[in-house]
Amino acid sequence: KAGVTQTPRYLIKTRGQQVTLSCSPISGHRSVSWYQQTPGQGLQFLFEYFSETQRNKGNFPGRFSGRQFSNSRSEMNVSTLELGDSALYLCASSLGQADSPLHFGNGTRLTVT
């Protein structure tokens, strides 16, 4: 079974721009979650989607948004980029039940200059 696939692997953007990251979950997984990983804050939850609906959201500003498509693929968007948005963005998929493990992709490394 193919794992979680994230594209692109690396991105360099300028302050004020926007960016869209893509995630393809494991086949059969209907839940997709996004996390931000930085050296300072560690792994932080952004949001979770299940069957195209956002079920949960972390404490990030509205510049961070996401969506999920009918095939469970997901995208996240960050608008008006700030230097502090530089991070590794990780996508995880699961069956979406309370005791289903999340499986992570290898992330998109975003650098904002």
Partner 1 sequence: GESVGLHLPTLSVQEGDNSIINCAYSNSASDYFIWYKQESGKGPQFIIDIRSNMDKRQGQRVTVLLNKTVKHLSLQIAATQPGDSAVYFCAEMEYGNKLVFGAGTILRVKS
> Which of positions 54-93 make contact with partner 1 (CB under 8 A)?
55-56, 58, 90, 92
Structure tokens at 73: 């693929």
Q: Rule CB under 8 A: is residue 28 a binding residue for partner 1?
A: no
Q: Rule CB under 8 A: is residue 96 a binding residue for partner 1?
A: yes
Q: Which stretch binds partner 1 (CB under 8 A): 11-19, 60-68, 72-80, 104-112?
A: 104-112
Q: Rule CB under 8 A: is residue 26 a binding residue for partner 1?
A: no
112 strand-pairing partners: 13
CB 39 within 8 A of CB 90: no
- Across 19-46, b (16+ Cβ under 10 Å) vs e yields bebebbbbeebbbbbbbbeeeeeeeeeb
| Interaction site with partner 1 (CB under 8 A) | 4, 31, 33, 35, 38-43, 45, 48, 50, 55-56, 58, 90, 92, 94, 96, 98-107
